Chains A and B, each alone.
Chain A
Amino acid sequence: MEDRIAMMHDDPAVDLTVDGSAVGGMLAAAFGVEMTAAPGQCAHCHTVSVVGAMRVYMRGPGVVLRCPACAEVVLRIVQTPRGTMIDARGAAYLVIERG
């Protein structure tokens, strides 16, 4: 885990990572509510952080949100012709607050 955090902070491609709010528009369109202030719990290390504080990797086939504490995958989002697919296996829970 130490290794993973070091990787996240000392990455030759670090410039390509952004914060959770960068996918705020996509998430708002998918969930119908503002999501960047929504808390979620990492299923790996149990840290609770809001979506806006998660690390976003969006230069790829899909979007990957990672836990700021342990760098594990919390959410994966893919936009397909059918709609937005969200894999939340890495989240113990995610609070979708009342709009």
Chain B
Amino acid sequence: MGERFVTRGFVGRREDATSGPMGGDERRRRTPPGQYLTTDFPVLSAGPTPRTPLDRWSLSIEGLVSKPVSWSWAEFLALPARDWVVDISCVTKWTHLDMRWRGVSVDTLLEGLDLDPKAAFAIAWSDGGYTTNLPLADILNSQAFVAYEYDGKPLAPEHGGPARLVVPARYFWKSAKWVRGLRIQATDEPGFWESLGYNNRGDQWREERYTDD
């Protein structure tokens, strides 16, 4: 393919990471390699938006736990929750700083569940059939939460509401929308995108986009 053609005058809809209210240095420091800052919240979709009525909704933890658990919507809302302000990076190259969520820490969900010593991976599964895989080490210790509010409002269906997993330290496809459960396993099992060319771990600071990155 010879020289790359450059379109005269085109820069794209990208925020300048070097200026802005926070100061350029901080914004640059918080922007992972190959990412562009945005203040939008783009909708990523792989299928139609599920509409599970809240009275039929539940969140469950199953697999290598001594006793599987399942919360109704009311029970889930009664769990201890907190506010989270985190930077989110999507593999489609946008990074949004300081996104404000409210949700329940994965630590809280797993508390007292008595994990089998062999437990090493969590497979998040969602309404609509989406799955994504994460080592337990990537979602414990306040690294992940199940969010039900964004920016002070109930999480919109197109953004994964009523509840989605959020794993800020990984590309956003790991933050499963419409999450309904975590299956705890001894062995890893690539999810919807991990099984087709996307990186198994997806650490945005190491720019782990594709399988071999």
Contact = CB atoms under 8 A, between A and B. Distances in A.
Interface string B200-213: 00000000001110
A35 B198 CA distance: 25
Given A7-B51, A61-B91, A61-B198, A12 B158 contact: yes
A10 B47 CA distance: 12
A85 interface: yes
Given A12-B156, A73-B129, A80-B210, A85 B46 contact: no
A27 interface: no
B48 interface: yes
A71 B198 contact: no
A73 B130 CA distance: 11
A12 B50 CA distance: 10
Interface string B80-114: 00000000000110000000000000000000000
A61 B48 contact: no
B44 A59 contact: yes
A80 B157 CA distance: 29
Contact of B158 (A8, A13, A78, A82): A13
Interface in A2-25: 3-4, 6-8, 10-14, 16-17
B193 A11 contact: no
Per DSSP, chain A at the interface is mixed
Contact of A60 (B45, B129, B158, B210): B45
Contacts of B49: 7, 11-13
B45 A78 contact: no
B197 interface: yes
Contacts of B22: none
Given A80-B211, A85-B197, 17 more contacts: A3-B51, A6-B51, A7-B50, A7-B51, A7-B128, A12-B156, A12-B157, A16-B43, A57-B46, A59-B92, A61-B193, A62-B196, A62-B197, A64-B47, A71-B47, A80-B197, A81-B210
Interface of B: 42-51, 91-92, 128-129, 156-158, 173, 193, 195-198, 210-212
8 contacts: A7-B48, A12-B156, A13-B157, A57-B45, A61-B198, A64-B46, A78-B193, A80-B197
Interface of A: 3-4, 6-8, 10-14, 16-17, 57, 59-62, 64, 66, 71, 73, 76, 78, 80-82, 85, 87
